[in-house]
Amino acid sequence: MKRSLSLRLVSPILYAVVLLSAGAISLSAADPEPATTPQKEDSGYSEIATLAKAVELIRQDYVDSSKVSYHDLIYAAMKGMLSSLDPHSQFMDPDDFRDMQDDTRSRFNGLGVEVALRDGLLTVVTPMEDTPAAKAGILAGDQILKINGASTEKMNLQDAVEVLRGEPGQKINLTILRPSTKEIKDYALERKEIKLASVKGGKLLDPALTGPFKVGYVRIVQFNEPTAEEFSKTLDDLQKQGMQALVLDLRNNPGGLLNSAVDVLGQFLPPNTKVVSTQGRAESQKHDYSTPVGVKERPRFPLVVLVNQGSASGAEIVAGALKDLHRAVIVGETTFGKGSVQNVMQLPDGSALRFTTAKYYTPSKTVIQGNGVAPNILVPLTPEQERAVATLRNNDKIGASEAVEMIKSKDVQLMRGIDALKGVMIYAQQTAPKINAVKK
């Protein structure tokens, strides 16, 4: 059984299909009005009959007969139905559904940009590093005005994603508005096969940045199936090198699998610690999610988590839990605010419905959706600084000494995180003798 990007895949639980074929329902303008049978309020029967009649009228009289197959009309109706609910609900045809499953396995074709509708505008949530979008300089928060010259003003999210994706080697042009500077710029990109390593950059930071302390650093790019295992191995390596504190970088992490995010939290919190809950209209959507048992116990080393407006969904769950449970200091900017649960229900023909069923709540019962997670230490980046950080992540030819200087001058979020950790460790050193004296 596969899992969806946000929660899980249930296949199938419940679906409703209106059988519209010449032999099943045939309503046309020439048909007599069907006999009406009193129905309970909101039963839906009259609306289904209305839909059926609309389909038949279109099939009968629409000028282009190549566009009116039952398959095309019903798929179009389901796309419209799901997209009318909220920006995160969608109908996926079989190809789209397979693409979504590829996403959870860290491979897909496209530009490497996560998008969402924000205030009706197609907005970049995250440009994933080492992808065409990130290398071109596209930033979180950028608004896509045009795709190949066509306005995105009336484009729904699913249609936009379908246009952005494509076979490797295909060209695409984006017109981008950067709200922070009001700059409009055209980007010529080429689609590629994207293979994401979900855990990157695991290392001890240069002593020129950390002084006498051994501070580890690791980025989680996205929460996928192998993330928790890869992250655990990275922590093992850092501990062998004598790590005393850790910077966990979740900037521009668009989220992913809920179970993966919960498993990562298990590296920092005791077993059976509630880290997130969901609440929906149905009783079945009310769940508490806790850290797993049997995870290797680690020292309670000082921890800083870096976030920005490109941190979404699973990244917000991790940051929110560590903040509420006082396990980490959160540094950066308020996160994106994508805190809703989408269930994916597969239909018999290989298509699927993905729709919102609940909202995420942090351990303190704070709603993530629309609010995001506010940092303990607010440190915004200018567009110039954001570009410098993106360059550091996407250019492996930058030397160690040059990288240190770029971090010192441009990555003020990382520097503030390091300073916070150094302050905690200095305080611990100063108070340790007093505590030992009291014990004696």
What residue ranges do the domains of the chain occupy? 9-86, 107-195, 199-348+357-431
d(CA 256, CA 275): 16
**Residues 103, 105, 108: CA angle, nearest 5 degrees:** 45
Query: 193 with 130: CB under 8 angstroms?
Result: no
pLDDT band, very low/low/confident/very high, at 433 (cuts 50, 70, 90):
low
* Closest C-alpha among 248, 247, 200 to residue 227: 200
pLDDT tens profile 13-61: 223 333 333 333 333 333 334 444 444 555 678 888 999 999 999 999 9
Residues with Cβ < 8 Å from 438, sequence gap 6 or more? none
The answer to whether 369 and 340 are in contact (CB under 8 A) is yes
Has residue 438 got a pLDDT over 80? no
DSSP 201: E
Greater confidence, 16 or 243?
A: 243
Q: Which residues are catalytic?
A: 313, 324, 338
Q: What is the pLDDT of residue 102?
A: 63
Q: Is 437 exposed, middle or buried (0-12, 13-18, 19+ CB in 10 A)?
A: exposed
End-to-end CA distance of the chain: give it in Å, rounded: 57
pLDDT at 214 over 90: yes
pLDDT value, residue 119: 81
Q: Look up residue 203 and give its two tokens.
A: 């290392």
What pLDDT shows up at residue 193? 81
The pLDDT assigned to 24 comes to 33
Report d(CA 328, CA 116) in Å as an integer. Answer: 28
Query: Which of 206-215, 230-239, 244-253, 275-284 bottoms out in mean pLDDT, i.e. has the lowest?
Result: 275-284
CA distance 418 to 385: 17
Beta strands in 362-436 (DSSP E): 377-378
Task: Name the CATH topology of 199-348+357-431.
Answer: 2-enoyl-CoA Hydratase; Chain A, domain 1 (3.90.226)
DSSP category for residue 367? B
User: What's the pTM?
Assistant: 0.71
Over residues 289-304, the mean pLDDT reads: 94
pLDDT at 78: 92
**What residue ranges in 111-221 does DSSP mark as E strands?**
113-118, 121-127, 143-147, 150-151, 171-178, 183-190, 192-195, 199-204, 215-220
Q: Say what the pLDDT of residue 27 is.
A: 31
pLDDT of residue 315: 96
- pLDDT for the residue 42: 58
Q: Look at residue 11 in the predicted model and tell me its pLDDT.
A: 29
DSSP line for 51-99: HHHHHHHHHHH-S-GGG--HHHHHHHHHHHHHHTT-TT-EEE-HHHHHH
Residues 6+ apart with CB under 8 A from 123: 115, 116, 117, 141, 142, 143, 144
Q: For residue 440, is pLDDT > 60?
A: no
Average pLDDT in the 121-147 region? 86
φ/ψ region of 92 (left if φ > 0, alpha if ψ in -120 to 50, else beta) reads: beta
Helix 400-410, helix 412-439: angle, nearest 10: 90
Q: How confident is the model at residue 226 (pLDDT cuts 50, 70, 90)?
A: confident
Q: How many CB atoms lie within 10 A of CB 21?
A: 8
Q: Write down the pLDDT at residue 293.
A: 94
What rounded mean pLDDT belongs to the chain?
Answer: 84
pLDDT higher than 90, residue 247:
yes
Residue pLDDT, tens place only, 314-360: 999 999 999 999 999 999 999 999 988 888 899 999 999 989 988 99
Topology, domain 107-195: Pdz3 Domain (2.30.42)
> What was the pLDDT predicted at 108?
64
Domains 107-195 and 199-348+357-431 share a fold: no
pLDDT one-digit tens code per residue, 94-132: 887 877 776 555 556 788 888 888 888 899 887 877 788
Structure tokens belonging to residue 316: 């917000």
